[in-house]
Amino acid sequence: MTHTFFIAFSYILTALVIAGLVVRAVIDHRAQLRALAELESRGVGRRSRRG
Amino acid sequence: MIRELANPTRFMSLSGTLLPWVTGLAVLLLGIGLYMVWFVAPADYQQGETVKIMYIHVPAAWLSLFFYMIMASSALGTLVWRHPLADVSQKAAAPIGAAFTLICLVTGSLWGKPMWGTYWQWDARLTSMLVMLLIYLGILALWRAIEEPNRAARAVSILTLVGAVNVPIVKFSVDWWNTLHQPASVFRLGGPTIHTSMLVPLLIMAVAFTIIGVGLHLSGMRTEILRRRVRTLTILEAERLDAQAA
């Protein structure tokens, strides 16, 4: 294998791992926002403990 | 400042303002860093172009230790000061640190094959870095194993502080033992031994990686705060439904 292979593989892998972290962060954040909006639309709030 | 940020609502507001700037800065620095690596930095007189792996391997190694230190400080925040955001910070830092440790190990291995003739050697630096990855994975597993966030945070804090023993071992392994891995060449007494033409792109890439990491950490903390709100509201809803049924 040439040195180009090792260099390219290193950069591609790094890009994929960082992109994976970014995509995971975005998907997770949107999922929590959706869940929160759903709960709030059902009238669940911090004040529901009082009544 | 820290007391002000202890309020999750205030943290959400401040981090929401900061995050677009952090993202923009990360993209800008990464662009400059990659341009310098590919079009300005010279090839090494011994390693040739393979030295380009250094510009991602070394920042990843630094960030692996950096995020472990963030987790260890947050663990102290959880156990000693009971800072409301400390365990949120710990939980958000773990996957990022683990990812950078993985990048460090794999790129190191891919750099080692053409330079040393082997992908892996059980020397002190490589082995202690592998132990670091295993500690990160253990911490991630422990977060998943305990459902109640406060209990999980205390257990993870203890594991994190025990695992912190490995941080100086990673850093000084190349000084304490005879290793195949080269000794420190940037952060060392007597100054860096790398030529400026390579040191500048390396430092720019390191700052870019750090800003990316900080952005991901802020984003992860924001998501974790939302997750806890969802959990609290779900419990409140269940309690309300129970009360209505009774």
Say which residues have a Cβ less than 8 Å from residue B185's Cβ, sequence separation at least 6: B192, B193, B194
User: How many domains does chain B divide into?
Assistant: 1
pLDDT for res A7: 95
Q: Flag whether B29 is in a domain.
A: no
Task: Name the least confident of B4-13, B90-99, B169-178.
Answer: B4-13
Residue scoring higher pLDDT (A48 or B30)? B30
φ, ψ for residue B69, nearest 5 deg: -65, -35
- Joined tokens for residue A43: 């009238």
Q: Flag whether B200 is in a domain.
A: yes
What CA–CA distances, in Å, run from B56 to B62, B80, B140, B177? Answer: 10, 36, 24, 25
Chain A partners within 8 Å of B239 (Cβ): 49
Structural domain boundaries, residue B100: 53-182+194-240
Count CB pairs under 8 A between chains A and B. Answer: 87
Q: Which residue in chain A is spatially nearest to B92 when comparing CA positions? A: A25
Cβ contacts of A46-49, under 8 Å, gap ≥ 24: A46/B232, A46/B233, A46/B236, A48/B236, A48/B237, A48/B240, A49/B236, A49/B239
Chain A partners within 8 Å of B234 (Cβ): 39, 44
Q: What is the pLDDT of residues A1-51, one digit of tens each?
A: 678 899 999 999 999 999 999 999 999 999 999 999 998 888 776 554 443
Q: What is the pLDDT of residues B179-206, one digit of tens each?
A: 777 777 767 667 777 888 889 999 999 9
pLDDT for res A51: 38
Interface touch B216/A25, C-beta < 8 Å: yes
Say which residues have a Cβ less than 8 Å from residue B120's Cβ, sequence separation at least 6: B109, B112, B126
Q: Which residue in chain B is spatially nearest to A33 when comparing CA positions? A: B226
pLDDT for res A47: 53
Tell me what the mean pLDDT of segment B196-225 comes to.
Answer: 95
Locus of tokens 């792109």: B201
This model of the complex carries an ipTM of: 0.88
C-alpha dihedral sign at B21, B24, B27, B29: negative
Q: Flag whether B109 is in a domain.
A: yes
Interface touch B229/A36, C-beta < 8 Å: yes
Q: What is the pLDDT of residues B31-81, one digit of tens each?
A: 999 999 999 988 888 888 899 999 999 999 999 999 999 999 999 999 998
